[in-house]
Amino acid sequence: MKVVVGVDASGFYESAIRLLSRLKIDPLDIELLHIDEVPQSYPEEAFAWTSEVLDAMEKLDEKILSQAEHLAVERGMHSTSRSLIGSAAGLLMEQADVNHTDLIAIGSYQRSRIGGLVFGSVGRALAIGAHHSVLIAKGEIGAEGPITAIATTDHSRYSDQALRLLCKLKPLGIQRLILLTALDEAMVGSADELHIDRLREYFAKRGENVSRFMNAAGIPTEVRCVEGELDQAIKDQMAENNADLLIMGAQGHGFLKRLFIGSTTLREVVTSSHSILILRP
């Protein structure tokens, strides 16, 4: 699998490399990409690209990428590296397109709901605009240990395709996967208790069918069907199971809808404290 890892100067990328290592996806072809962004307060044409500035940037870039390469080697990964100048999110997506990459991986941190909206983030931009699957590692990621993951599904065709993609990736480091369906207001509506019971039975059977092929692919899977809103169900299940990773399919619904109305996936990217894998079949 081809992965582009965004290497930031603050070192958040280290969590992404550690999480990739613990997922145990084999083989991995990793490109470490460091991007020097022009400060947003300066028009690009007004920024002084003198030889001294470029030389200093090159030395700093070499140091940052050398540290990233060293960590990749420690984790048993073969990697190539390069640096570019421009928009971090834009160039990550562009390079992923050029290299026919399967996954873009970055490290990030929790933002407030308002902070994420006003100031934006690379993770948010990737969640909105990338055509590729995206891994966003948050916080301090331990170097070792099996992974417990929560995967959300509404058992739509797209959700099933996302889970099949997960099986194709063969993340052998996931030793426990909890397949979560939330019976929220959009699903239940004004249904009476009899119809809600039938919905529970239907989704339980669908979950059992999905778990069979997940187990066959080497991903131990359990099924959870809960009542309530998906955001709260995710929060509860992540905490209850001490989960390391949230996995979600991200079917596009148009840029403006995602930007102004938002989606559960986008809210999880911007405001949550846990790592997230966004699957785009």
Q: Are residues 123 and 153 in the same domain?
A: no
> Is 123 within the bounds of a domain?
yes
Per the listing, tokens 């073969």 go with 78
Q: How far apart are CA 33 and CA 12, in angstroms?
A: 13
Q: Are residues 153 and 193 in the same domain?
A: yes
Q: How far apart are CA 79 and CA 3, in angstroms?
A: 10
> Is 249 within the bounds of a domain?
no
Q: Are residues 186 and 59 in the same domain?
A: no
Instruction: Read off the pLDDT of each residue in 35-47 and give the average, rounded to a whole number.
Output: 65
**What CATH number is attached to the domain comprising 157?**
3.40.50.620
More reliable by pLDDT, 234 or 253: 234
Q: How far apart are CA 275 and CA 281, in angstroms?
A: 19
Please give the pLDDT value at position 190.
63
The number of angstroms, rounded, from the C-alpha of 230 to the middle of its chain's C-alpha atoms is: 18
Contact 78, 3 (CB under 8 A): no
Q: Is the pLDDT of residue 115 over 60?
A: no
Closest by CA position to 64, among listed 15, 14, 106, 103: 14
pTM for this one? Answer: 0.87
Kindly report the average pLDDT of the chain as a whole number. Answer: 85
Please give the pLDDT value at position 259.
40
Please give the pLDDT value at position 189.
65
Q: Are residues 76 and 175 in the same domain?
A: no
Q: How far apart are CA 165 and CA 173, in angstroms?
A: 16
Contact 197, 150 (CB under 8 A): no
Q: Are residues 74 and 185 in the same domain?
A: no
Q: Which helix (H) or strand (E) holds 1?
A: none
**What's the start-to-end Cα distance of the chain, in Å?**
14
State which of 10-14, 128-132, 195-199, 200-204 shows the largest mean pLDDT.
10-14
Q: How far apart are CA 120 and CA 72, in angstroms?
A: 28
Q: Are residues 96 and 51 in the same domain?
A: yes
Domain extent at residue 113: 2-138
- Label residue 129 by pLDDT band (50, 70, 90): confident
pLDDT in tens, 142-161: 889 999 999 999 888 889 99
Residue 262: φ, ψ to 5°: 85, 165
Q: Are residues 70 and 89 in the same domain?
A: yes
Please give the pLDDT value at position 40.
58
Q: Is the pLDDT of residue 81 over 90?
A: yes
Please give the pLDDT value at position 124.
85
pLDDT in tens, 200-213: 888 889 999 999 99
Cα–Cα distances in Å, from 45 out to 38, 40, 41, 274? 10, 12, 12, 38
Q: Is the pLDDT of residue 215 over 90?
A: yes
